[in-house]
Structure 1
Amino acid sequence: MSGSSRRSAPWAIAAALVAAAVLVGAAPAAWGAIRPADDQGAGAGAPDAAQSVALAYEFLDARVDQFCDGAGHCLPRSYEGGFFTTPSWDFTPSFVYDDALVIIAYTARGLPDDLRRARAIGDTLLFVQDNDPIGDGRTRASYEPHGIRQGRVEITGPGSFTGNQAWVGLALTRLAHATGDQRYLDGALRVGQWIQDNTADMVRAPYGYTGGQLEDGTWLSWKSTEHNSDVSGFFTQLAQLTGDPVWSERAAVAADFVAAMQSADGHVNTGTGLDGSTVNTRPIPLDAQTWSSLATGDPRYGAALDWTLANLIATDGPYTGPSISEVDVSKAWFEGGGHLALALKLRDGAGDADRAETLLSSIRLAQRDAPNGDGKGIVATSNDGLDSGFGDLYYASLHTGATAWYLLAVAGDNPFALPVE
């Protein structure tokens, strides 16, 4: 999976256990064909925005409180229901990417219990970092919450991928900013130094950060646009919190790599091949479009958002939203709908507010009616079997990450940037 923007996904792990068929669906819809937000079929009893947000936080609260130990460490399972919860199989791992988003979503609202839960997850990230079998500052892709509840570290996704490291760092810098607790900044600096020491590539142009390492130390030689967007935002925050300009210089390397991946028509390619230089042009993922804009704040990526609106929007029954890539635009990816809505809100061009609200309205409808939902959390996709284009399928199962992205979009809170005081 050279140059893939997709970090290690639960579907890839599950695929080793369960075979799933790709579902083929409807044709893509241009943005102009999407119904206005007030004609999404929300119907009587659909939650208004404030009620929807309260319910989404209730979902996260229950997930965080489910797996805690006596020392106050908590780790929410990432997915539940549908494909991942059957009479014979229950997939419970917690992905650090999702955990980071939940932390940041809690700081966005900032109630006392929100910060308590954010700190409980953040303390768990420090705990797994301190107790890693290699112990060089890295974290892993995912952990088992049942292990945390028993006071031990059980690694379920052993890879050390650059994007995951950066998201752990983004969560810890946000906690350091929100609480003033130096422990979180110290942990973030350890993560940042691991990324710099193990993934910086200043030999093969375009320079940037490679994919990370496998459990055995094998170097992933490709570079991902998504990963470099993550690093750019994370290192910028380290520079702000430490005052050390070296982190700004490193952030600029990552941002320059992202810029080198932008095509003439505005879309941003996924990254490079194994040689670290040749551009990997297919698939074209949503993350590379939206996160390039969110992480760098560079207006050049407005063209990437426009390309997304023209090429990646799906309509699946009553649901509207972006797909994961151009490979399959038959279903809405609600996690992506959250960060696309946020990117449009922050761009704030003509019509962007209405487009963002249409996406958020569809997510609220899914919160109420989507398969395998509980009326509170957000499922990952509008129906099962969305093909990412990177060798995995996505399912309509409740997802902490999708729920957190929705909350951040409603709040207008960019996880790649520290709040302005």
Structure 2
Amino acid sequence: MLILFCAVLWSAASAAADQSTGLDLAFEHLYEVMDRYHGAFYVYTDLSAAGNHFVTLGRLSSTGDDDRVEIDPGFRGDCFSGTTCIRNRFNAAEDNWGGWYFLNGVLEGEDTVPRQNWGDYPEAGLDLSGATKLTFHARGEVGGERVEFFAFGVGRDPWTGLPTAPYPDSSPKVSTGFITLSDSWQEYTIDLRGLDLGYVIGGFAWVTNAYENGGRDITFYIDDVGYDKGRLDEPRFLVSFETIPSSSDFDTTTNNTAFGYDNALALLAFLSRGRPEDLERAGLLADAFVYAVNNDRYFTDNRLRNGYQGGDLALFPGWTPRGRTATVRMPGWWDAEGTAWYEDEFMVSTHTGNVAWPMIALLNYYRRAGGAEYLEAASALGEWIEKMTRDDRCAGGYTGGYSGWEESASSPGGQVKLLYKATEHNIDIYAAFMLLYQETGEEKWKERALHARGFVESMWNDEGGYFWTGTLDDGCTVNRNLNGLGTPNIPVDIQAWAVMALGDYYSALDWAERGTYVEHHGFKGFDFNNDRDGVWFEGTAQMAVAYQMTGAADKSALYVSELRRAMTSAANNNGKGIVAACHDGVTTGFEWNYLSRVHVGATAWYIFAEEGYNPYWGVWIAPNPRTAD
């Protein structure tokens, strides 16, 4: 008996240690993602990285020699770090010279690509005051290449430093002088102490010439360029996925994307642990959402987009789309070959559930920390949902939102209203509106919450014991679109979310076990939908939380342990965060698939599962004996 008792104690202690370790690692991942582009002020880390500045390239060359100076900011192969680095080529001819400036540039009107600014535009410089050094890494193709690296000096005479343009860099050029590169990566530093860095439009540059290189062509590489200027006290969003070098479009299109849903979950995760440093970070995220509500590049109706860009929250000085300054940055990617900037339709759209989740996060933060601006922002978002998506067809509820780009020359029709209704969205709206009712006491929010709940309950399939996905565009017909197996596509998340948000419909978890449980790639868990082609770890964490709601502690513990294993054993893991899926290409039955990439959203849901935290209501889950519906 004593041996058994000791074994039980050891097992409990071991489980507690695993929980503590897993939680610490998960929070470490969120911290690292949040600080990645704010611990320093980067010029370049990877192509289209969220932390890049001075992204407008300006060619320097002797007369008629433009084509002898080449640059590729998206080169892949033997880089110092990350996925890409900058390949530079100079083709010598007689006494020619050339190079490139990394400029802040200006963006005006409906432009999608910034223009060069050589000191001709006002209020278009970055303030780098406080920086003491500029650091970068470089290597030659073969070694022996002679290059001068420098910063600043735009709009100034390179020899005297005197202004030659009306709005020049605040500092004259500061340089390494010509240095000889080796064929291995070396770190170089430019001392900035004592310089006026209050207005910078030329953040980095290089130049070379035929004479310094003995008349030979040279190729060399640059990577990880940045200033020692931290900005950890600034509001910002977390980039959602840890992308990897691959041929997948996903790793290109989401490289700098901070999805609103994921960031709402990160805010709630910080609240769930609630240490002082967690609450500070939750506050920065809350401030970022408030800023985004009020500073869209086009809309003034208090909506949020599905995604934003990590790194700096606001566009750079001199970037004024439609005459608006400091608007919140949108995600996208740079096509180095086509020299064009692209945006993704989903990311610029506004889906209703992706408005509701930030409301939930803001209201839970308001409950913890106060601050009228957070309640006001949540109320404004709620009014947008009510005004723009309320629907009275059939069972009522709220429609899916708006898709596409704002009105412009390239998108003359503007955004298109989505007429379908999603069970998932209406679950989120119910919780968001009920939280607003609880905080304001205004009956309108209760009525609106019940309007959403009524639709959710209408989607309950009593015979099957699960919730339907939602309706088709007519707002009435149940969406029975088929998955890859030829059966109606049913997601697992709405089953778990209904339990968390409504505190009822526990039998939906029984259907989830029958319909979406899967063992795949060495893991046990739940697929996104009922075609069971892989483990979706985010949904597995959601099920673990829902099981805690029903008192099924053993089941919850099993899947939490699988998530801990995924942290260190799943493909493309980083030993801290949770990947979205057990393999690339886990299907959803919709237009997107999940890949095995470390994901802020999946990591946050893992935290909720470990802590027994219901993110909808911001409460910890007490043991709750399972009861029949």
Q: Which category describes the TM-score, using the shorter chain as reference length?
A: 0.7 to 0.9
Cα shift at 1:391: 1.9
Contact 1:344/1:356 (<8 A) preserved = yes
Summarize the alignment of residues 316-355 of structure 1 with structure 2, pairs less than 5 Å apart.
316-327=520-531, 329-348=532-551, 352-355=552-555
CA gap of 1:377–1:85, structure 2 versus 1, over 3 A, is farther
Cα shift at 1:292: 1.4
TM-score by length of 2: 0.57
TM-score by length of 1: 0.84
Partner in structure 2 of residue 154 of structure 1: 329
Partner in structure 2 of residue 396 of structure 1: 596
Distance 1:159 1:61 in 2: 28
Distance 2:265 2:247 in 1: 22
Distance 2:246 2:302 in 1: 31
Contact 1:81/1:372 (<8 A) preserved = no
Larger strand share, 1 or 2: 2
Partner in structure 2 of residue 253 of structure 1: 451
Q: Any idea what SS the aligned residue of 2:419 has?
A: strand
Root mean square deviation, CA, Å: 2.4
Counterpart of 1:164 (choices 343, 354, 373) is: 354
Distance 1:71 1:358 in 2: 39
Distance 1:219 1:420 in 2: 37
Partner in structure 2 of residue 302 of structure 1: 506
Distance 2:545 2:386 in 1: 29
Aligned residues: 372
Q: Does 1:205 align with 2:205?
A: no
Contact 2:523/2:582 (<8 A) preserved = yes
Distance 1:178 1:230 in 2: 20
Q: Any idea what SS the aligned residue of 2:607 has?
A: helix
Q: Any idea what SS the aligned residue of 1:80 has?
A: coil
Partner in structure 1 of residue 201 of structure 2: none
Partner in structure 1 of residue 128 of structure 2: none
* Higher Cα Rg, which structure: 2
Partner in structure 1 of residue 489 of structure 2: 283
Cα shift at 1:84: 7.0
Q: Any idea what SS the aligned residue of 1:280 has?
A: coil
Map Cα deviations across residues 19-38 of structure 1 (whole Å, 9 max, x no partner).
xxxxxxxxxxxxxxxxxxx9
Counterpart of 2:467 (choices 261, 264, 268) is: 268
Q: Does 1:102 align with 2:102?
A: no
Partner in structure 2 of residue 311 of structure 1: 515
Q: Does 1:372 align with 2:562?
A: no
Distance 1:380 1:70 in 2: 27
Contact 1:379/1:396 (<8 A) preserved = yes
Amino acid paired to 1:66: R
Contact 2:423/2:468 (<8 A) preserved = yes
Mark the runs of 5 or more structure 1 residues left unpaired by the alignment.
1-37, 39-43
Summarize the alignment of residues 186-265 of structure 1 with structure 2, pairs less than 5 Å apart.
186-202=376-392, 204-214=393-403, 215=405, 216-263=414-461, 264-265=463-464
Greater relative CO, 1 or 2 (CA 8 Å, sep 6+): 1
Q: Does 1:60 align with 2:13?
A: no
Amino acid paired to 2:357: W
More divergent stretch after superposition (154-163 vs 333-342): 154-163
Contact 2:390/2:397 (<8 A) preserved = yes
CA gap of 1:418–1:370, structure 2 versus 1, over 3 A, is closer
Q: Any idea what SS the aligned residue of 2:425 has?
A: helix
Distance 2:18 2:619 in 1: 26
Amino acid paired to 1:278: T
Counterpart of 2:284 (choices 101, 113, 120) is: 120
Mark the runs of 5 or more structure 2 residues left unpaired by the alignment.
1-7, 9-13, 39-230, 317-325, 332-346, 406-413, 481-487, 622-629
CA gap of 1:85–1:52, structure 2 versus 1, over 3 A, is farther
More divergent stretch after superposition (380-389 vs 409-418): 409-418
Partner in structure 1 of residue 185 of structure 2: none
Amino acid paired to 1:74: R
Larger helix share, 1 or 2: 1
More divergent stretch after superposition (395-404 vs 330-339): 330-339
Distance 1:184 1:240 in 2: 15
Cα shift at 1:148: 2.0
Partner in structure 2 of residue 416 of structure 1: 616
Partner in structure 2 of residue 35 of structure 1: none
